[in-house]
Amino acid sequence: MQFFVDTAIADEIRELNDYGLLDGVTTNPSLIAKSGRDFKEVVAEICQIVDGPVSAEVAAMDHAGMMAEARVLAALADNVVVKLPLTLDGLKACRQLRADGIRTNVTLCFSANQALLAAKAGASYISPFLGRLDDIHLDGMALIHDIRVIYDNYGFDTEILAASIRSGNHVKEAALAGADVATIPPAVIRGLASHVLTDKGLDQFVRDWQATGQSIL
């Protein structure tokens, strides 16, 4: 499974990219607003940090506005993926951008039918929001399973990008469900490497090694 980081903070992206853990980045207007910086400058900087896809979201809600903004965003870097809302206007823009060779990420997906429409429109990625479904007592992971079956049934090439990830367990379950990508907050990515027994074992190794009085160097 590919790992994208869900942030617009350049320093966090650099850190995780240096570990070799990142395949891409997702952003949205809310995340970039928190950075307090110019939207296009932030997107361009992130695209220089990582080689993989960088999702940058349009702000317009109408088809003409989406198309105009999409062309500006796509011109920022070769690895920009234009993020579109899962609305009829968004799907129309998705179809047109696909025909123009511009990759898209259709976002805010909450049903299998929505995911089916996005695939038919030619989306490069579909972003089902797991945590937000869980928040209203629906099974977000079941949605990943359903989309996987539908896409496999019909040979759609749209990749399932599990979003609104809240925990390491979400990451594991999304991988088991067959998500192609998970976009994950930085803290959750770091936490995937942690386990109490790993920490305990390392503490014991360090004590045992120190007791030998030896040095490898």
Task: Delineate the domains of the chain, giving CATH numbers in brackets.
Answer: 2-212 (3.20.20.70)
Separation of alpha carbons 93 and 121, rounded Å: 9
User: Cα(45)–Cα(117) distance, rounded to whole angstroms?
Assistant: 32
Mean pLDDT over 19-40 rounds to: 90
Is 34 labeled as catalytic in the residue annotation? no
User: Mean pLDDT across the chain, nearest whole number?
Assistant: 96
Can you give the pLDDT at residue 108?
Answer: 97
8-28 mean pLDDT: 95
Which pLDDT belongs to residue 29?
83
SS3 percent helix, strand, coil of the chain, rounded to 5, is: 55, 20, 30
pTM of the model: 0.94
At residue 175 the predicted structure's pLDDT band, cuts being 50, 70 and 90, is: very high
Catalytic option among 34, 40, 83, 172: 83
